[in-house]
Amino acid sequence: MYEIKDIMLADSGHKKIEWVRRNMPLLRALEDEFIETKPFEGIKISLSIHMEAKTAYLCKVLVAGGAKLAATGSNVLSTQDDVAAALAEDGIEVFAVHGASPELYDKHIEMCLEHRPNIIIDDGGDLVGMVHTKRPDLAGEVWGGCEETTTGIIRLKAMENEGVLKFPMVAVNDADCKHLFDNRYGTGQSVWDSIMRNTNLIVASKTVVVAGYGWCSRGIAMRAAALGAKVIVTEINPVKAMEARMDGYDVMTMEKAAPLGDMFVTATGCMGTIRMEHMLKMKEGAILANAGHFNVEIDMDALEKECREKKEARANIMAYTLSNGITVNVIAEGRLVNIAAADGHPAEIMDLSFAVQAMSAMYIRDHHKELENKVIDVSEEIDDVIARRKLASWDIEIDTLTPEQEKYLSSWEV
């Protein structure tokens, strides 16, 4: 069963999946292992992650492990119809259409849950949210799940604190092998890939304002500087602000940065990071992009309501003329720019993140009976295994502690 745009697009999807497969050695090794051991035999998994080639390969790896899988995309603009078609052609249940309406998006989430999952793999919390709101009848059958991103974990922790979370959820994002690499180097590279390919403008010589100095923003700022931009960081956290300053960037409020920036990239996870009062102070032609999970960081509602004129400036770029006559350009409707208007993170990065996902799903399978209905950390062992396998794929060896060193590092007597 599937609901996609067009099954005839499958050939192009298969090519994209084969390309990433060649560049995802950890997932390839897990696939080989899963074909032998069938760790998910008979287990029902519902998955909602950006429906593009890397995610599709994760789906195929889980199915190779025996899972009965239903998949949807976590963002209608990141769904690639050819990739969804390839999965459907492979016999996987997939419900995802690029640019679907909010109603169709919700319907696809529901269809993905009709499957009555034992394990949920979520990105941003929409599947888990739907179980807790519209389909609480399913909660008893869910052993637990895994959450991919920072914003999803914030939502889950709020549910845990209110005592409403109905099953354990592994915080995949918080694994070292995830956020240190995916959020920083993955977002850092893919955000600039997207901005450059969509604007066809140079980054060198520009002033780039980066909102936030968390894991994603650090990567975005680092790569902007490497491309030759002057970088300004805005923050609300004094320690992160200090870190940005020590890393060599100017730090100031968004109000002060607004008239200085040529390009603005926000990755705070917080609504209203760039508001109308800031946009009214910007330079003519300023370019705005959001790299956070939801399209709430740039106040798009205010822009839509209060602009004098709106027109497409280029594919994926909308130009809004404000009440003061200034025009600002927003990429990808203020949705996460690297995925909605490009191909997302590099394959080698998602290799790490999805290895954490696959191994965390196995952890849920093995431990769900003893876990509380809380947000659970990824075990250190999983991080260790994945990092060692990644190093091995690069042919890198590292040192091992001698028994004397182990004793020295674990004792308090000199």
Question: Which spans of this chain sit near ligand NAD (rule: CB under 6 A)?
Answer: 149-151, 179, 182-183, 187, 211-217, 234-237, 240, 267-270, 273, 291-293, 336, 338-339
* Closest approach of ligand NAD to the CB of residue 66, in Å: 29
* Closest approach of ligand NAD to the CB of residue 268, in Å: 4
CB-nearer residue toward ligand NAD: 85 or 254: 254
CB-nearer residue toward ligand NAD: 43 or 298: 298
Contact residues for 132 (Cβ-Cβ < 8 A; gap 6+): 139, 159, 164, 165, 166
CB distance 81 to 108 below 8 Å = no
Amino acid at 79: T
Contact residues for 372 (Cβ-Cβ < 8 A; gap 6+): 168
* Closest approach of ligand NAD to the CB of residue 352, in Å: 13
Report DSSP letters for 355-399, one per residue: HHHHHHHHHHHHHTTT--SSEEEPPHHHHHHHHHHHHHHTT----
Taking CB positions, which residue lies at the least distance from ligand NAD? 214
* Closest approach of ligand NAD to the CB of residue 175, in Å: 12
CB-nearer residue toward ligand NAD: 46 or 194: 194
CB-nearer residue toward ligand NAD: 13 or 188: 188
Report DSSP letters for 220-289, one per residue: HHHHHHHTT-EEEEE-S-HHHHHHHHHTT-EE--HHHHTTT-SEEEE--S-TTSB-HHHHTTSPTT-EEE
Cα torsion 18, 24, 25, 31: sign: negative
* Closest approach of ligand NAD to the CB of residue 345, in Å: 6
CB-nearer residue toward ligand NAD: 329 or 338: 338
* Closest approach of ligand NAD to the CB of residue 218, in Å: 8
CB-nearer residue toward ligand NAD: 207 or 268: 268
